[in-house]
Amino acid sequence: SKTVSITYLEADGTSKTVDADIGTDLMTTAHDNDIELEGACGGELACSTCHLIFEEDIYDTLPEKDDEEDDMLDLAFEVTETSRLGCQIIVQENFDGMTVKIP
């Protein structure tokens, strides 16, 4: 399967660059690569623990978030204008080289 390079910037300032399979969500990609991104509900849109902050140019290319995701983000810490839930974002080719921040 085709992969792209994504860097996760962890809350403690360390970063880890991984090969992410296109078509996999960012929460699963983090878990598969031992990155500290909780995802307590397992991607069921029942928590906000896989909250990620995107670079604006990538954020602008993401599909619109639905009301459920918006409601969960209201419960997240350190929400920004470019916050999304990692379980809802599917890796795309244009993600190659991007950095996402874990608040």
Question: In CATH, what number is assigned to the domain containing residue 21?
Answer: 3.10.20.30
Give the residue from 16, 32, 71, 80 showing the smallest Cα distance to 52. 80
Q: Using the predicted structure, report yes or no on whether residue 11 has a pLDDT greater than 90.
A: no
**pLDDT per residue over 45-97, tens digit each?**
999 999 999 999 999 999 999 999 999 999 999 999 999 999 999 999 999 99
Q: Which domain holds residue 82?
A: 3-101
pLDDT at 100: 98
Kindly state the helix (H) or strand (E) to which residue 83 belongs, with its residue range: strand 83-85
Question: Beta strands 98-101 and 3-9: pairing type?
Answer: parallel
What total number of domains does the chain contain? Answer: 1
Q: Using the predicted structure, report yes or no on whether residue 1 has a pLDDT greater than 80.
A: no
